[in-house]
A and B are shown apart, each in its own frame.
Chain A
Amino acid sequence: MELRKITDLIWEIPKQGDMNVAATIYASSRLLESVKKDLTLLQARNVACLPGIQRMSYVMPDAHQGYGFPIGGVAAFDMDEGIISPGGVGYDINCGVRLLRTDFTEQDISVRRKELLAEIFKEVPAGVGKGGITKLSRNVLKDILLKGAEWAVENGYGTRDDLLMTEENGRMREADAAHISDRALERGIPQLGTLGAGNHFLEIQKVSHIYDQDLAQVFGITSAGQVMIMIHCGSRGLGHQVASDYIELMENKLGTKGLPDRELIHAPIGSSLGRQYYESMCAAVNYAFANRQMIAHWVRDVFVKVMGSAKGMRQVYDVCHNVAKIEKHTIAGYAREVCVHRKGATRSFGPGRQEIPEAYRTHGQPVIIPGSMGTASYLLVGTAEAEELSFSSTAHGAGRVMSRHEALRRFRGEQIRDELQKKGIELQSTSWKGVAEEAPAAYKDVDEVVRVSHEVGIGRLVASVTPVGVMKG
Chain B
Amino acid sequence: MAEKFRFLDHTADAKFQAYGRTLEEAFVNAALATVSLMWNPEEVDPRLSHPIDVEGRDLEQLLVHFLGEIIYLLETRSFLAAAVDDMVIEKTDKGFRLRAACRGDDRPTRYSIFGEVKAVTYNEMRIELGCPVTVQVVVDI
Residues of A within 8 A of B120 (CB): 244
Tell me if A240 and B140 are in contact (CB < 8 A).
yes
Tell me if B114 and A434 are in contact (CB < 8 A).
yes
A469–B38 Cα distance when bound, in Å, is 25
Chain B 66-102 interface 0/1 with A at a Cβ cutoff of 8 Å (1 = within): 0010011011101010000000000000000000000
| Other-chain contact of B68, A198, A244, A252, A399 (Cβ < 8 Å) | A244
Residues of A within 8 A of B80 (CB): 129
Tell me if B11 and A432 are in contact (CB < 8 A).
no
Q: How many residues of A contact B (CB 8 A)?
A: 49
A64–B13 Cα distance when bound, in Å, is 11
Tell me if B14 and A431 are in contact (CB < 8 A).
no
Interface status of A449 (Cβ within 8 A of chain B): no
Interface status of B51 (Cβ within 8 A of chain A): no
A252–B140 Cα distance when bound, in Å, is 22
Smallest beta-carbon distance B115→chain A, Å? 6
Tell me if B9 and A406 are in contact (CB < 8 A).
yes
Q: Which residue of B lies closest to A252 (CB)?
A: B57
| Other-chain contact of A91, B9, B57, B113, B121 (Cβ < 8 Å) | B121
Tell me if A198 and B116 are in contact (CB < 8 A).
yes
Interfacial residues of chain B within 110-141, with CB under 8 A of chain A in the complex: 112-116, 118-123, 125, 138, 140-141
Interface status of B28 (Cβ within 8 A of chain A): no
Smallest beta-carbon distance A393→chain B, Å? 19
A197–B38 Cα distance when bound, in Å, is 10
Residues of A within 8 A of B74 (CB): 128-129
Tell me if B7 and A405 are in contact (CB < 8 A).
yes
Tell me if B75 and A262 are in contact (CB < 8 A).
no
Tell me if A129 and B122 are in contact (CB < 8 A).
no
Contact A91 B114, CB 8 Å, known A38-B11, A190-B76, A405-B7: no
| Other-chain contact of B11, A131, A251, A400, A434 (Cβ < 8 Å) | A400
A370–B141 Cα distance when bound, in Å, is 18
Tell me if A91 and B140 are in contact (CB < 8 A).
yes
Tell me if A91 and B118 are in contact (CB < 8 A).
yes
Q: Which residue of B lies closest to A401 (CB)?
A: B11
A271–B92 Cα distance when bound, in Å, is 30
| Other-chain contact of B118, A183, A240, A263 (Cβ < 8 Å) | A240
Residues of A within 8 A of B71 (CB): 237
Interface status of B30 (Cβ within 8 A of chain A): no
Smallest beta-carbon distance A73→chain B, Å? 13
Tell me if A431 and B7 are in contact (CB < 8 A).
no
Residues of B within 8 A of A183 (CB): 72
Residues of A within 8 A of B119 (CB): 91, 240, 243-244
| Other-chain contact of B75, A37, A38, A187, A243 (Cβ < 8 Å) | A187
Interface status of B64 (Cβ within 8 A of chain A): yes
A240–B64 Cα distance when bound, in Å, is 13
Tell me if A430 and B113 are in contact (CB < 8 A).
yes
Residues of A within 8 A of B108 (CB): 128-129
Interface status of B49 (Cβ within 8 A of chain A): no
Interface status of A261 (Cβ within 8 A of chain B): yes
A426–B64 Cα distance when bound, in Å, is 39
A-B contact count (CB 8 A): 111
Tell me if B123 and A127 are in contact (CB < 8 A).
no
A434–B114 Cα distance when bound, in Å, is 6
Residues of A within 8 A of B121 (CB): 67, 91, 263
Smallest beta-carbon distance A219→chain B, Å? 30
A92–B13 Cα distance when bound, in Å, is 13
Interface status of B2 (Cβ within 8 A of chain A): no
Chain B 7-46 interface 0/1 with A at a Cβ cutoff of 8 Å (1 = within): 1011111100000000000000000000000100000000
Smallest beta-carbon distance A37→chain B, Å? 8
Smallest beta-carbon distance A355→chain B, Å? 29
Q: Which residue of B lies closest to A261 (CB)?
A: B123
Smallest beta-carbon distance B111→chain A, Å? 9
Tell me if B115 and A433 are in contact (CB < 8 A).
yes
Residues of A within 8 A of B141 (CB): 198, 404
A245–B13 Cα distance when bound, in Å, is 20
Residues of B within 8 A of A38 (CB): 11
| Other-chain contact of A262, B68, B112, B116, B125 (Cβ < 8 Å) | B125
Interface status of A306 (Cβ within 8 A of chain B): no
Interfacial residues of chain A within 41-89, with CB under 8 A of chain B in the complex: 64-68, 71
Contact A402 B115, CB 8 Å, known A187-B76, A198-B141, A252-B57: no
Which of B14, B72, B76 is the most central at the interface, judged by chain A CB atoms within 10 Å of its CB? B76
A127–B111 Cα distance when bound, in Å, is 13
Tell me if A263 and B12 are in contact (CB < 8 A).
no
Residues of B within 8 A of A67 (CB): 121-123, 138, 140
Q: Which residue of B lies closest to A38 (CB)?
A: B11
Smallest beta-carbon distance B25→chain A, Å? 23
**A and B contact pairs by CB, cutoff 8 A, 18 listed:** A37-B11, A66-B123, A128-B108, A129-B78, A186-B72, A186-B76, A189-B76, A190-B75, A190-B76, A198-B141, A237-B75, A240-B118, A248-B61, A263-B122, A263-B123, A402-B11, A403-B12, A431-B112
8 tightest A-B CB contacts, nearest first? A433-B114, A262-B122, A197-B116, A431-B114, A129-B108, A91-B119, A67-B123, A240-B119
